[in-house]
Amino acid sequence: VTVSASLREPWASLPGQLRERGLRWTPQRRTVIEVLAETRGHITGAELVERCRVLDLTVVPSTVYRTLDVLEQLGVVRHGHGADGRQEFHVGSETDHGHLHCATCENQWEITEPQAGAIAELFAPQGFALEASHVTIVGQCRTCRERATRAFG
């Protein structure tokens, strides 16, 4: 029941933004924001719930998801879906790295900054402005491809 340190930028203005719209700043929302503030890249809904509950047991799943709805409307987070189908909330524009994802075995490899840059350049001319940190290449790794070819190719 202690009040924690003040929020770092760009989160500091959130309480005000909420109140401007007639919404409220609550301890539970504060906890959600604290977890989001220390998240780089993305976090799944379930993981966020778990991390919030470590900080504050009064935070319950429904509150987290309802808060995420509000935050998404404010444009603070954006959701998509991860490789496993769970909701994934992307926070800010952090230093996240892209990844190489095998659609068959689900393994992932990191994409290096230069690689991501090269890809971004490839598509820049046609107006698709990729951010290196948000690039995911879905394909099939060598092992899986060989197995598939043997079977059905």
Partner DNA sequence: ATTAATGCAAACGGTTTGCACTACT
Partner DNA sequence: AGTAGTGCAAACCGTTTGCATTAAT
Amino acid (one-letter) located at 13:
S
Q: Please identify, using beta-carbon distances, which residue of 63 and 140 lies nearer to DNA.
A: 63
Q: Mapping DSSP to helix (H, G, I), strand (E, B) and coil, where does residue 45 land?
A: helix
We find the least distance from the C-beta atom of residue 51 to its own copies, in angstroms, to be: 20
Region binding its own copies by CB under 8 A among candidate stretches 31-39, 46-54, 58-66, 125-133 = 125-133
Q: Please identify, using beta-carbon distances, which residue of 49 and 141 lies nearer to its own copies.
A: 141
Q: Please identify, using beta-carbon distances, which residue of 66 and 147 lies nearer to its own copies.
A: 147
Find, among 149, 117, 150, the residue nearest to 132 by Cα.
117
Tell me which residues in 57-86 interact with its own copies (CB under 8 A).
72-76, 78-86
Amino acid (one-letter) located at 66:
R
Among 15, 41, 92, 117, binds DNA (CB under 7 A): 15
Tell me which residues in 50-109 interact with DNA (CB under 7 A).
58-63, 65-67, 70, 86-87
Task: Supply 1's token pair.
Answer: 């029941």
Positive or negative, the CA dihedral 11, 99, 88, 70 is positive
Q: What is the DSSP string of 84-105?
A: TS-EEEEETT-----EEEETTT
We find the least distance from the C-beta atom of residue 9 to its own copies, in angstroms, to be: 11
C-alpha distance from residue 45 to each of 33, 80, 83 (Å) = 13, 11, 14
Residue 115 contact among DNA, its own copies, none, beta carbon within 5 to 8 Å by kind: its own copies
Task: Supply 4's token pair.
Answer: 């924690």
- Give me the residues that bind DNA (CB under 7 A), please: 15, 18-19, 22-29, 44-46, 49, 58-63, 65-67, 70, 86-87
